[in-house]
């Protein structure tokens, strides 16, 4: 009888989308996780030129060799052995994530996922027949997971742990010592590390600390040009690993998911990498000044505490308003014309938080924060009266 798979039925739409559906057109937009920039002009021109030159065909599954070589080279400072066979081009980080789980997860396997999480992680594990098991990234630890908490969750079914630094939604990063402890944990239990580093170019102050190049070869990275070159709508990313066996299996999965990535676009990305390599730094500097404004504004509000994020472009403040779920609080924000995401969209432990993406100009951030302050003051005052 015609019906739907248990897998499709088990997966719910994300709580982020729901807010979009409820928002009016004039709401101040803290909802979207995408840079408010355009890709470098030379990349757009190269894209157009490549199409005119007939680059409109299937490519090999792994992608354009020159681009893969270039990507591998950008990681040579920490992993000098990488070459083009260490990279598989995909049609986004989202596509890359699915390829990786398809390659390493068997039905019944467990995968450790950070919570709060990027909302695709648990459903992607489920789609591949596995069970997502979340581990806590607590506010009091600046959202960095503690190995003690991980030890309690691992068992003979656990095959992988996913790390995401800089993090969506928390903006957390790790230092080298924390990274090494997290790698040792995976090594001790013979787990794959799936490392989502799509925000590696948006790190403030210190250098990005990668899970690559730290002496463990069971590491598979997903990455993307969505955030690096503001190409969210282009849908292009990659999987990279020093582990040749992993790359063989992932590339095979990529073939069956989308056959290959986009032909002309790969020339455009190569052009951006070759001739607009400073572009991500310019964007990062702009995000950094916005980050300073939004975290200062939030921390100056009664009942709000907010870690100053060290990477990505999100703040994830804790907001003390009695009796409201984070979704109800986000709806109160909407009534004042502010679109943000409820913390619960990123897992249960996101309750009590909201996520604001600072992907709008500073004047809009200031205007939005005036409204946020008004809502919180109103709700807290009515709180005190009851």
Provide the binding-site residues for ligand PLP, judged by CB under 6 A: 33, 92-94, 118, 164, 168, 196, 198, 224, 226, 232, 237
The tokens describing 16, both together, are: 């982020």
Classify residue 203 by burial, with Cβ atoms within 10 Å: 0-12, 13-18, 19+.
Answer: buried
DSSP characters for 146-163?
-HHHHHTT--TTEEEEEE
From residue 134, how far is each of 2, 35, 161, 220, 375 by CA, in Å? Answer: 33, 28, 10, 19, 32
CA distance 372 to 30: 11
Which one, 241 or 321, has the nearer CB to ligand PLP? Answer: 241
Shortest reach from residue 315's CB to ligand PLP, in Å: 14
CA distance 128 to 117: 18
- For residues 337 and 383, is the Cβ–Cβ distance under 8 A? no
Shortest reach from residue 226's CB to ligand PLP, in Å: 3
- For residues 120 and 169, is the Cβ–Cβ distance under 8 A? no
Which one, 191 or 357, has the nearer CB to ligand PLP? Answer: 357
Which one, 118 or 287, has the nearer CB to ligand PLP? Answer: 118
Shortest reach from residue 199's CB to ligand PLP, in Å: 7
If you compute the radius of gyration of the chain from its CA atoms, what whole number of angstroms results?
21
Which one, 326 or 359, has the nearer CB to ligand PLP? Answer: 359
Shortest reach from residue 52's CB to ligand PLP, in Å: 26
Which one, 224 or 251, has the nearer CB to ligand PLP? Answer: 224
- For residues 308 and 320, is the Cβ–Cβ distance under 8 A? no
The tokens describing 117, both together, are: 């999480």
Which one, 35 or 304, has the nearer CB to ligand PLP? Answer: 35
Shortest reach from residue 314's CB to ligand PLP, in Å: 8
Which one, 329 or 357, has the nearer CB to ligand PLP? Answer: 357
Shortest reach from residue 367's CB to ligand PLP, in Å: 24
Shortest reach from residue 190's CB to ligand PLP, in Å: 25
CA distance 372 to 377: 9
């Amino acid at each position: 009888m015609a019906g739907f798979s248990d897998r499709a039925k088990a997966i719910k739409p994300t709580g982020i989308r729901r807010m979009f559906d409820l928002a009016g057109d004039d709401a101040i937009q803290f909802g979207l996780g995408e840079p408010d920039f355009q890709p470098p002009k030379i990349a757009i021109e190269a894209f157009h030129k490549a199409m005119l030159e007939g680059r409109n065909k299937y490519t090999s599954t792994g992608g354009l060799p020159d681009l893969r070589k270039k990507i591998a080279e950008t990681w040579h400072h920490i992993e000098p052995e990488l070459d083009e066979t260490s990279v598989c081009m995909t049609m986004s980080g989202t596509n890359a994530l699915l390829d990786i789980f398809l390659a390493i997860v068997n039905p019944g396997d467990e995968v450790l996922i950070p919570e709060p999480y990027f909302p695709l992680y648990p459903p992607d594990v489920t789609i591949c027949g596995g069970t997502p098991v979340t581990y806590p990234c607590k506010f009091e630890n600046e959202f960095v997971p503690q190995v003690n908490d991980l030890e309690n969750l691992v068992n003979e079914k656990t095959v992988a742990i996913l790390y995401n630094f800089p993090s969506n939604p928390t903006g957390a990063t790790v230092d080298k010592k924390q990274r090494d402890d997290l790698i040792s944990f995976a090594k001790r239990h013979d787990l794959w590390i799936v490392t989502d580093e799509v925000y590696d170019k948006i790190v403030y102050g210190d250098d990005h600390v990668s899970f690559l190049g730290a002496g463990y070869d069971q590491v598979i990275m997903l990455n993307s040009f969505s955030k690096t070159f503001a190409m969210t709508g282009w849908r292009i990313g990659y999987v990279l690993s020093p582990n040749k066996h992993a790359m063989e299996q992932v590339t095979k999965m990529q073939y069956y998911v989308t056959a290959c990535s986009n032909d002309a676009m790969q020339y455009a990305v190569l052009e951006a990498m070759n001739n607009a390599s400073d572009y991500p730094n310019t964007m990062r500097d702009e995000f950094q000044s916005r980050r300073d404004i939004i975290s200062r504004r939030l921390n100056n509000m009664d009942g709000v505490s907010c870690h100053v994020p060290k990477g990505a472009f999100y703040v994830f403040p804790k907001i003390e308003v009695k009796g409201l779920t984070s979704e109800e609080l986000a709806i109160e924000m909407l009534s004042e014309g502010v679109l943000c995401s409820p913390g619960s969209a990123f897992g249960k432990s996101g309750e009590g938080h909201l996520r604001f993406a600072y992907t709008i100009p500073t004047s809009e951030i200031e205007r939005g924060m005036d409204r946020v302050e008004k809502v919180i003051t109103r709700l807290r005052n009515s709180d005190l009266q009851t």
